[in-house]
Amino acid sequence: MSVPVVSTDPGAALDLLAGRRLVVLTGAGLSTDSGIPDYRGPGSRPRNPMTYSEFVSGEPAQRRYWARSHVGWARMRRADPNPGHRALAALGAAGVVDGLITQNVDGLHSVAGSRGVVDLHGRIDEVVCLDCRRVTPRDALQDRLTALNPGFTEAHSAQVETAPDGDAAVEITDGFRVAPCGSCDGVLKPHVVFFGENVPKDRVARCYAMVAALTPEDGALLVAGSSLTVMSGLRFVRAAHRSEVPVVIVNRGTTRGDELADLRVDAGCSEALAALAAQPV
């Protein structure tokens, strides 16, 4: 087991990454400066997201999810990209970032202007029908839920926290009315990968291909704002390490990938990524 080099200086990564083509893997820590809390960062309270098996267990679980998400989405839809998102978009426009993989579901990379983003865990601004598989905008469902449950958001939004997946800590959801699919009356689910659900194989293959295109001589994998606790992101760090491609992690606190990294910068993503984007290409 190797001992990672750890620095609190955001500039520590600049020399290592200078002149290299990057694939970037981002996590919830990147979006905290946009007002979206993370799951495992310093000071985060324990969270227990709904699993896929729980969601498909029946109407009570689906009512609970959509009631909480209805409140959470009212806040999440107002989030704006922060300097970290904008820095990565600028690096992409400059040809430095060859690929961007995000574990986040908030869509803020695309809003900031990044292109070719792989939303590994899907997008919370989309809804999919589990029966007919039709994908529709989350805003359209929000309007339907508001009509079915007038005053629900206003009654709960002032006193609850919202998680990175838009789940708000609403305790009383009895009586909340859930909207079915507008095409087939099937069950609607957010178009995201729940815990216990598999990431689509083609999406995983696309990410592996991005990492495989990196070379030890002129490429690097940059991880920003992820503790790498779940395998869906850690596997790409392992792949880069096996290929001897440099790995740099920017994250507040230790990560599961530290022993695979050449450097971990213990600093905020906005600060570190803005410093990287400010360097000459």
Q: Would you list which residues are annotated within the binding site?
A: 27-47, 103-106, 129, 132, 181, 184, 225-227, 251-253, 269
Instruction: Please give the angle made by the CA atoms of 266, 41 and 68, to the nearest 5 degrees.
Output: 155
Tell the residue number behind the tokens 């799951």, with chain if given.
39
Active-site residue, selected from the candidate residues 121, 156, 191, 241 = 121
Question: Residue 49 burial by CB count (10 A; 0-12/13-18/19+): exposed, middle or buried?
Answer: middle
121 has catalytic annotation: yes
**Tokens representing residue 17 in the block:** 């990454």
DSSP bridge partners of 190: 127
**Strands 6-7 vs 263-265: parallel, antiparallel or unpaired:** parallel
CA Rg, the chain, in Å?
A: 19
Question: With contact defined as beta carbons under 8 Å apart, do 137 and 127 qualify?
Answer: yes
For residue 172, count other CB atoms closer than 10 A to its CB.
9
Q: Known binding site for Zn(2+): residues?
A: 129, 132, 181, 184
**Quick one: CA dihedral 116, 120, 125, 126, positive or negative?**
positive
Task: State in Å, rounded, how far the first CA of the chain is from the last one.
Answer: 34
Write the CA distances from 128 to 51, 105, 181, integer angstroms: 16, 14, 8
Separation of alpha carbons 187 and 134, rounded Å: 11
Residue pair 238/260 in contact (Cβ under 8 Å)? The answer is yes
- Catalytic residue list: 121
